[in-house]
Structure 1
Amino acid sequence: MSVHQTAILDALPAHATYLSFDLQEETDASAVKAALKQIQTLVDGQRIVMGVGMALAQALKVDIPGLLEFSGIANSKVALPATPAALWLWLRESERGELLHQQQRVVQALGPIFQLQQEISAFKYGSGRDLTGYEDGTENPQNEEAVRVAIAADGSSYVAVQQWEHQFARFHAYTGREQDQMIGRRRSDNEELEDAPASAHVKRTAQEDFAPVAFVMRRSMPWTEGARGGLYFVAFATSFTPFEAQLTRMCGAEDGVTDDLFHFSHPLTTAYFWCPPLQNGHLSLAWCE
């Protein structure tokens, strides 16, 4: 029986690591499949979630319906870097020490076929806040609606990821009211502001305002590296369409109005992945056999 990777809908962990891998050049399909067999037993969908990139599907000559690479948004008013990868893993733990051990096991299983491209350390901040102090994922669907939004009929899911870096000095130069207006919610009680401008983040991304509606399941977490930090945005859905609809409006391609987030933050990466279902408690490899 195929089921979804459960962490997609579970509560956020205390700590996480996001890993992206590229394929080594001139690697044959049999070697790639052998590496996937090694990682298969580690990916339980709860402590480790895995996503497949277009580069991996192409290397194995398999067609995964709906999978594509992010290639930017036409007429965007801001920079949206496209950073594809062959494989993406979300490691989830209650404390950081075990994350290190998990990462070592993953790298050992995938090497030398896959090369680590990016490693991001993340954590849950308060009740699930961004480092600006605002609640993240307020509009996430719940219960059966969450399953409908994030999980396809076969148990698979599609995930869009972006690493956003905040310019904290720039953000803190605004008054509290100006910050609330940019987000579209009060930080103190998370109430939506009726008088927020059209450029407010909440107004730009109101999921029910799109046609068709653009609901996603957000599983984002803050990240830090030294004095740098921001939000590692993660959005699961049954296709990339709702994410692209939101991003198109955010970047001003739709009406020339850019999201106020761009006043103090910007994306460093954007990538798409397909998350296979589980089979008998472990990652299904039926898609590449």
Structure 2
Amino acid sequence: MSTPQAGILQPLPPLARYLSFSLAPDSDVSAGLAALQAVVDGERTVAGIGLAPVSALGRKVAGLKPFPPLNGPGVELPSTPFALWLWLRGEDRGELLHRARHIEEALAPVFHLEESWDAFKHDGGRDLSGYEDGTENPTEEAAVEAAIATDGSSFVAVQRWIHDFRRLEAMQPEERDDCIGRRRSDNEELDDAPASAHVKRTAQESFTPEAFVLRRSLPWAEGREAGLMFVAFGHTVDAFQAQMRRMVGLEDGIVDALFRFTRPLSGSYFWCPPITDGKLDLSRLHD
């Protein structure tokens, strides 16, 4: 029996490392995927497979599509496709470092590591802006319904957002709260928030059909730069895509106020296979 990768539905870990890989030209993709099965347990290491290895095998995964670059008034969402994405979950940064090293060695030469980002849980689950992240996340059965397809697989949208803290801190507290649509002090939603407030732009029940996703985002920091590694799981990518289109103003011309102090640097979609008999079930790529 196939089950979802357990890490998708589990609470956020204290620490994480995200690895993004490209596919080496003319490589043995089947051998690379076999190596992947040996290093991914779906719980401490969650895997997402991009279009490149699927296409190289001459296969298709229904629902897996390119991440579309989107542009709105003064804002843009870049598309940065990768062949493979791994979410390493843990409690010790040194252990994550060594696990990442061993995974990189195991997947070479088929998969080449392009990016590695460390992330962490902050202030009980807040973004570095100080606002609670994922307040409207579905829970229990609703979370499974939102994130997991009937075969136990999932899709994940991954974006790395960079914050401009000087812009954020230059705002008055009420102005910041209006950008989010919640009070930072107590996380209460503002009844009179403007239409551009983030919570109004992304209210999941306001879409037709409803656009529920399961957010598993964590803050990241590297040197003087920092932001949010936005990670959203869904049984399709459609809900996430609907939210992004509205955020950049393509639905009604109103741009999400979030862009006043943060912007995405990347954007990718991946297919997260289910687990069967303790291993990634890649049968859809080899049938």
TM-score normalised to structure 1 length:
0.97
Decide which of 188, 197, 204 is 2:201's aligned counterpart. Answer: 204
Alignment-derived partner of residue 96 in structure 2: 99
Q: Identity percentage over the alignment?
A: 55
Q: Deviations over 1:93-140 (max 9, x none)?
A: 011011011101110111011111211110000111100010000001
Residues in 2 aligned to 1:52 and 1:109: alpha-carbon distance in whole angstroms? 16
Residues in 1 aligned to 2:67 and 2:191: alpha-carbon distance in whole angstroms? 33
* Matching of residue 222 in structure 1 with residue 190 in structure 2: no
Residues in 2 aligned to 1:211 and 1:76: alpha-carbon distance in whole angstroms? 24
* Matching of residue 68 in structure 1 with residue 69 in structure 2: no
Alignment-derived partner of residue 118 in structure 1: 115
Decide which of 141, 144, 147 is 2:144's aligned counterpart. Answer: 147
Residues in 2 aligned to 1:211 and 1:172: alpha-carbon distance in whole angstroms? 36
Residues in 1 aligned to 2:102 and 2:284: alpha-carbon distance in whole angstroms? 23
Alignment-derived partner of residue 11 in structure 2: 11
Residues in 2 aligned to 1:106 and 1:76: alpha-carbon distance in whole angstroms? 41
**Uncovered stretches (5+) of structure 2, i.e. residues with no partner:** none
Q: Deviations over 1:236-262 (max 9, x none)?
A: 011111001100010011111100111
Which letter maps to 1:13? P
Q: Report the aligned-residue RMSD.
A: 1.1
Which residues in structure 2 correspond to 1:232-271 (within 5 Å)? 232-271=229-268
Cα shift at 1:34: 1.0
Which letter maps to 2:25? E
Cα shift at 1:71: 2.0
Residues in 2 aligned to 1:264 and 1:221: alpha-carbon distance in whole angstroms? 17
Matched residue count: 286
Cα shift at 1:26: 2.3
- 3-state secondary structure, aligned to 1:104: helix
TM-score normalised to structure 2 length:
0.97
- Structure 1 residue runs of 4 or more that deviate by more than 2 Å after TM superposition: 73-77
